[in-house]
Amino acid sequence: MLQTRVIQPADNAYQAPLLIKRLLLSGSRYEKTREIVYRDLVRYSYLTFNERVARLANVLTNAGVKPGDTVAVMDWDSHRYLECMFAVPMIGAVLHTINIRLSPEQILYTMNHADDRVVLVNSEFLPIYQGIKGALTTVEKTILLTDGADKTADLPNLVGEYEQLLAGASPQYDFPDFDENSVATTFYTTGTTGNPKGVYFTHRQLVLHTMGMASMMGAVHTPRLMANDDVYMPITPMFHVHAWGVPYVATMLGIKQVYPGRYDPELLVGLWKKEKVTFSHCVPTILQMVMNAKAAQDVEFNGWKIIIGGSSLNRSLYEAAKARGIHLTAAYGMSETCPMISCAHMNDELLAGSEDERTTYKIKAGVPVPLVEAAIIDADGNFLPADGESQGELVLRAPWLTQGYFREPQKSEELWEGGWLHTGDVATLDNMGFIDIRDRIKDVIKTGGEWISSLELEDLVSRHPGVREVAVVGIPDPQWGERPFALLVAREGHTLDAKSLKEHLKPFVEQGLLSKWAIPSQIALVTEIPKTSVGKLDKKRIRLDIAQWQEAGSAFLSTL
Amino acid sequence: MLQTRVIQPADNAYQAPLLIKRLLLSGSRYEKTREIVYRDLVRYSYLTFNERVARLANVLTNAGVKPGDTVAVMDWDSHRYLECMFAVPMIGAVLHTINIRLSPEQILYTMNHADDRVVLVNSEFLPIYQGIKGALTTVEKTILLTDGADKTADLPNLVGEYEQLLAGASPQYDFPDFDENSVATTFYTTGTTGNPKGVYFTHRQLVLHTMGMASMMGAVHTPRLMANDDVYMPITPMFHVHAWGVPYVATMLGIKQVYPGRYDPELLVGLWKKEKVTFSHCVPTILQMVMNAKAAQDVEFNGWKIIIGGSSLNRSLYEAAKARGIHLTAAYGMSETCPMISCAHMNDELLAGSEDERTTYKIKAGVPVPLVEAAIIDADGNFLPADGESQGELVLRAPWLTQGYFREPQKSEELWEGGWLHTGDVATLDNMGFIDIRDRIKDVIKTGGEWISSLELEDLVSRHPGVREVAVVGIPDPQWGERPFALLVAREGHTLDAKSLKEHLKPFVEQGLLSKWAIPSQIALVTEIPKTSVGKLDKKRIRLDIAQWQEAGSAFLSTL
């Protein structure tokens, strides 16, 4: 280590550790009367929000929650979830946001693995919870959440019902200071193999992520993406990377927040209208569903700014959203990265260029946000040039990346091999700082000596007017190693077959945008494409399905 | 300390310390072609900026600068100064920004006290430097800065001229990682007694201050104060709290930056026009001078956003600026606080109120920015309520406050008494989070049993149409302890005397805005009011002057 002049913190000079409580202090100071809204059920001010967080902290402390303990939540996206995102870490405990879309067995695994002590469970999840409670090894107490009239349930060591408990608790709590490197949150990410893996973030990391996002959304992006005068509604679940960390940003800025419970498109459109939502974030699939909702048929979504992440944003969705008045911005991140890594930025060079070129850049993964460093490496770990051409694994450094997977030392080692976080994504970097994700390393299709990006192929296929959804995977081929296979959902009222797809792709081959070898060998028309619990294409499942169909000689497979 | 679950940083998981190099990386990534401008002399892109910082780092390293060494700069506000703000801390050294408005004796004191090893000195300051160089105890080498043709000077151990040295150095430098608590910058603040005191800030503090300012300016304030699409020109000197830290923010965001050298109003107006400046910051006095400049006579400063700090912003200046198209925002901070602490914010309650009420709040010290905590205490250290009425000393906590005064343990203890940084300012806090500075503790006028705020009195006096400038101080009085004394500069073409001032103040007494005892006992009409080196009213000097005039029985003193 260099011999710089390092300050030894003086005993009396208060160092103001980076703690989540400072984010709540900020928002509640800026705006006392702004609202937190939960569907059409709950509505209160930041002043009340502040008090309710203190009440919840008292409830948890009275229930025996100690600093370092893990408190788990199973709830729809709600004001209660938001309160937990503050109260639990602010007393020094760890918030475990349970992924309610996992199987009961996986939920059980994560709860035992995370050492959950106290669980807050929504009555609607009791059927799942009752089924696993006997096998829970660390849970001591339960708190019931409900939107209905049920104020009790048959649960061991039930402390009580959330609202009744809050009503009986003091609205004052002297939130302590502690080490900013204390774990604040944890949740589980599902890979293609093995058990879900627990990632975790400290107070310091969440505060820095919040500042980085606020700087990027407010001061870099034009027009600004989110600011004090916006109305925020998340459309990615709070169990998944704390709804991308945006509730922390929104709270720091004192923004009105609208929590929709579950992601029913009709409900979301209704809330958008009623609450005058101006900012959201979601994966492409759900945006498509929202735009197709019945309630959205005659709606111009003017002024709605949406960050798209989770999967790549294709040009046709970007254009379709724009035609409906929605300003989309692509961003990139993953569970392990808190998640924000990069976001589209229109720099002076792009602003001077054509609209078409700008669109090309608006749908890329974007430019790293302040404090993030990105690089690409080859299979041997050598750094590759940022020339927009060289493809390699995207690796990252930033002050808000998970330090590993909880109790998985070997997987943690692999994640951080060489001192960079390995994303598992193949990308290019260009001289304007843009990251362009080409594929997941394991989804790249290796045919002959060539690598084909399944994402690029999906983008070109999706431009066929008859394609509503598409997934491309590589399937084993004795001659070529792998060959591309396209799973397609047809758009109503359009015809879609192997011949018309081939005709559609030919011009791209002629323009040099697509190699001849990349034209899929086979397609299948289906009514739905399998998705993971967070709405991404489930390529592992797709490969299994295709293998079964091939074995069975299914009639709906066509050869191009 | 609470037993939270503290993460022991894993060896391989890279922690991305908060270092200044990450701010430069961010801006240079966002905008390659944006410009850094120095008067009409220099203009280059961020790409070149990045390379020049690397060249300077090589020059300094070759000159023997080691991590932990202090490198001092005596320059006008320039692109060179900006380069030093990055290159010096980025090699692990400490940047000492010399206050060129101090007396040669004080400059000498600060240079020896700070252990300056290498000095970069502008040829225009050679007369001062030559006078003190013989008494410098730690300086080993000198680098010459010049805007002219002079490429050498009679200096001991002159390394060379800046531009020639940069031209000969490599544009590559592998900037190392080190502890984020390493000191990055230092400068001296002058009090009313004793030697200048050295405050210092670490990489961590400057990075967090930058993120806090970017969040506030971009995501809290509407319309946003500074963002990627602005053009920035500082009008507070770079030697003084790094031009309020804004060059770091501007660089992180990739903003065009215009450095004016010295603060000549005519020059500033010229640059404003030519470079299309949209954001600046300054003290009230200099704004007044800019608006009064000859070059500004027929200029509508439309779209110019200016943060006003250093002294309180009064209503008449706010209104005058508004009439000229300038959007002023008051902010508060001091050398010890990096400096940004608070900034005006129009919350929903104020937006629903009257324009007049909003103006009242726009000229207050503002609401603390994210991560800052503010409180007021009485003389015994008891916390006072945030009721908008109770007055006490403003004390602060934030992650970017100086940990003390360099080599002044006793003054550092006093600064941090009770674990809060003591500002020396008397303030109120209200339930909307607004800080209202009433006075410096030592400038409060104690008459009879009553405390009169000299700032409030100055504000009311300044509304007299004949008053161009005013300073009010307490002077000893055998009967009342102290009595207010007003020093006035008359506005051209207006009459101003004791009688008309008394008539002007009477209605405020009738409205209950001013106590009868607060009407100044005496006034003096002068052509200029003494200012400190950073442009604030020099009340220490004013008190001395008045004492001398009283002793001499000066004819221009009038009694009200």
Question: Given A416, A451, A480, A517, which residue is catalytic?
Answer: A451
For residue B23, give both structure tokens: 């701010």
Question: How does strand B158-161 pair with strand B116-122?
Answer: unpaired
| Domain annotation covers residue A9 | no
Please tell me whether residues A437 and A450 are part of one structural domain. no
**CATH code where residue A491 lies:** 3.30.300.30
Question: How does strand A35-38 pair with strand A70-74?
Answer: unpaired
Query: What value, to the nearest 5°, has the Cα angle with vertex B208 and ends B532 and A252?
Result: 110
CA dist list (Å): B300 to A558, B233, B269, B274, B291: 70, 17, 11, 14, 10
The verdict on a CB contact (< 8 Å) between A13 and B67 is no
CB-closest option in B22, B227, B420 to A222: B227
State how far residue A240 is from chain B, nearest Cα, in angstroms: 21
State how far residue B11 is from chain A, nearest Cα, in angstroms: 9
Among B149, B184, B201, residue at a domain's last position: B201
Question: Given A142, A189, A190, A337, which residue is catalytic?
Answer: A189
Rounded CA-CA distance B236/B370 in Å is 23
The verdict on a CB contact (< 8 Å) between B224 and A218 is yes
Please tell me whether residues A332 and A414 are part of one structural domain. yes
| Residues in B touching A15 (Cβ below 8 Å) | 399
* ipTM of model: 0.91
Contact B123, B145 (CB under 8 A): yes
Is A105 catalytic? The answer is no
What pLDDT is recorded for position A246?
Answer: 98
| Residue in chain B lying closest to A215 (CA) | B215
Rounded CA-CA distance B132/B126 in Å is 10
Which residue type sits at B110?
Answer: T
Please tell me whether residues A31 and A128 are part of one structural domain. yes
Task: Centre a 10 Å sphere on the Cβ of residue A290 and count the other Cβ atoms it contains.
Answer: 28
Tell which residue, A366, A364, A428, A375, has the closest CA to residue A398. A375
| Residues in A touching B29 (Cβ below 8 Å) | 367-368, 432-433
Contact A192, A202 (CB under 8 A): no
| Residue in chain A lying closest to B220 (CA) | A228
Structural domain harbouring A316: 263-441
CA dist list (Å): A62 to A117, A197, B1: 14, 31, 20
Helices (H), B16-114: 21-30, 46-62, 79-90, 104-113
| Residue in chain B lying closest to A226 (CA) | B219
Cα-Cα-Cα-Cα dihedral sign, residues B58, B63, B66, B72: negative
Helices (H), A184-314: 203-214, 241-244, 246-253, 265-275, 284-292
| Domain annotation covers residue A240 | no
Please tell me whether residues A413 and A495 are part of one structural domain. no
Average of per-residue pLDDT values in chain B: 94
| Domain annotation covers residue B6 | no
Question: How does strand A373-377 pair with strand A392-397?
Answer: antiparallel
Please tell me whether residues A128 and A186 are part of one structural domain. yes
Rounded CA-CA distance A77/A240 in Å is 11
For residue A146, give both structure tokens: 């409900």
| Residue in chain A lying closest to B31 (CA) | A347
Please tell me whether residues A408 and A267 are part of one structural domain. yes
Among B147, B169, B201, residue at a domain's last position: B201
Which one of A18, A26, A232, A369 would you mutate to disrupt binding with B, by most B Cβ within 10 Å of its Cβ? A26
| Domain annotation covers residue B234 | no
Rounded CA-CA distance B97/A163 in Å is 57
Tell which residue, A234, A241, A229, has the closest CA to residue A260. A234
**Can you state the angle between helices A21-30 and A203-214, rounded to 10 degrees?**
40
Rounded CA-CA distance A368/B26 in Å is 8
Contact A233, A268 (CB under 8 A): yes
Contact B113, B129 (CB under 8 A): no
Please tell me whether residues B135 and B69 are part of one structural domain. yes
Contact A74, A125 (CB under 8 A): yes
Q: Band the pLDDT of B349: cuts 50, 70, 90.
A: very high
The verdict on a CB contact (< 8 Å) between A226 and B219 is yes
DSSP-derived secondary structure letter, B384 = -
Question: Given A336, A456, A458, A469, which residue is catalytic?
Answer: A336
What pLDDT is recorded for position A440?
Answer: 86
| Domain annotation covers residue A220 | no
For residue A133, give both structure tokens: 């409670």
Contact A242, A235 (CB under 8 A): no
| Domain annotation covers residue A367 | yes
Tell which residue, B60, B71, B124, has the closest CA to residue B97. B71
Residue B374: its H or E element: strand B373-377
Alpha-carbon dihedral angle through residues B150, B151, B153, B159, given to the nearest 10 degrees = 160
**CATH code where residue B193 lies:** 3.40.50.12780
The per-residue pLDDT string of chain A (560 residues; one tens digit each, 9 = 90 and over) reads: 678 888 766 666 788 999 999 999 999 999 999 999 999 999 999 999 999 999 999 999 999 999 999 999 999 999 999 999 999 999 999 999 999 999 999 999 999 999 999 999 999 999 999 999 999 999 999 999 999 988 888 998 999 999 999 999 999 999 999 999 999 999 999 865 678 999 999 999 999 999 999 999 999 999 999 999 999 999 999 999 999 999 999 999 999 999 999 999 999 999 999 999 999 999 998 999 999 999 999 999 999 999 999 888 989 999 999 999 999 999 999 999 999 999 999 999 999 999 999 999 999 999 999 999 999 999 899 999 999 999 999 999 999 999 999 999 999 999 999 999 999 999 999 999 999 999 888 888 888 877 788 888 998 999 999 999 999 999 998 888 899 999 999 998 888 888 999 999 999 999 888 888 889 989 999 999 998 877 788 888 999 999 898 888 887 778 87
| Residues in A touching B404 (Cβ below 8 Å) | 10, 13
Rounded CA-CA distance B373/B376 in Å is 11
CA dist list (Å): B403 to B337, B421, B426, B527: 10, 9, 22, 40
| Domain annotation covers residue B207 | no
| Domain annotation covers residue B54 | yes
Q: How many domains does chain B have?
A: 3
Task: Centre a 10 Å sphere on the Cβ of residue A278 and count the other Cβ atoms it contains.
Answer: 22
Kindly write down the DSSP assignment for every residue of A393-451, as one continuous string. Answer: EEEEE-TTS----TT-HHHHHHHTGGGSEEEEEEEEE-TT--EEEEEEGGG-EEETTEE
CA distance between the termini of chain A: 60
CB-closest option in A29, A34, A219 to B217: A219
Q: How many residues does chain B have?
A: 560
Which one of B3, B18, B29 would you mutate to disrupt binding with A, by most A Cβ within 10 Å of its Cβ? B29
Please tell me whether residues B501 and B533 are part of one structural domain. yes
| Residue in chain B lying closest to A395 (CA) | B14
The verdict on a CB contact (< 8 Å) between A420 and B179 is no
For residue A539, report the phi and psi dihedrals to the nearest 5 degrees. -70, -25
Which one of B1, B3, B7 would you mutate to disrupt binding with A, by most A Cβ within 10 Å of its Cβ? B7
Please tell me whether residues B33 and B182 are part of one structural domain. yes
Q: Which one is predicted more confidently, B153 or B30?
A: B30
| Residues in A touching B230 (Cβ below 8 Å) | none
For residue A262, give both structure tokens: 């579950």
Among A416, A441, A466, residue at a domain's last position: A441
CB-closest option in A226, A367, A420 to B29: A367
Which residue type sits at A52?
Answer: R
Q: Which one is predicted more confidently, B554 or A266?
A: A266
Which one of A19, A29, A66, A175 would you mutate to disrupt binding with B, by most B Cβ within 10 Å of its Cβ? A29
Please tell me whether residues A419 and A486 are part of one structural domain. no
Please tell me whether residues A268 and A401 are part of one structural domain. yes
CA dist list (Å): B224 to A278, B245, B281: 17, 18, 14
Helices (H), B227-313: 241-244, 246-253, 265-275, 284-292
Digit-coded pLDDT (tens) for B456-512: 899 899 999 999 999 999 999 888 889 999 999 999 888 888 899 999 999 999 988
Rounded CA-CA distance B205/B181 in Å is 8
Rounded CA-CA distance A210/B157 in Å is 48
The verdict on a CB contact (< 8 Å) between B176 and A401 is no
What pLDDT is recorded for position A10?
Answer: 62
Residue with token string 């009679």: B154
The verdict on a CB contact (< 8 Å) between B227 and A207 is no
Digit-coded pLDDT (tens) for B310-332: 888 989 999 999 999 999 999 99
| Residues in A touching B369 (Cβ below 8 Å) | 26
Rounded CA-CA distance A535/A290 in Å is 14
State how far residue A164 is from chain B, nearest Cα, in angstroms: 28
| Residue in chain A lying closest to B251 (CA) | A370
Q: How many CB pairs under 8 A join A and B?
A: 276
State how far residue A19 is from chain B, nearest Cα, in angstroms: 9
What pLDDT is recorded for position B193?
Answer: 64
What pLDDT is recorded for position B301?
Answer: 97
Is A482 catalytic? The answer is no
CA dist list (Å): B64 to B71, B91, B141: 11, 12, 9
Task: Centre a 10 Å sphere on the Cβ of residue A253 and count the other Cβ atoms it contains.
Answer: 28
Task: Centre a 10 Å sphere on the Cβ of residue A434 and count the other Cβ atoms it contains.
Answer: 25
Please tell me whether residues B401 and B347 are part of one structural domain. yes
| Residues in B touching A93 (Cβ below 8 Å) | 4
The verdict on a CB contact (< 8 Å) between A30 and B367 is yes
Is A400 catalytic? The answer is no
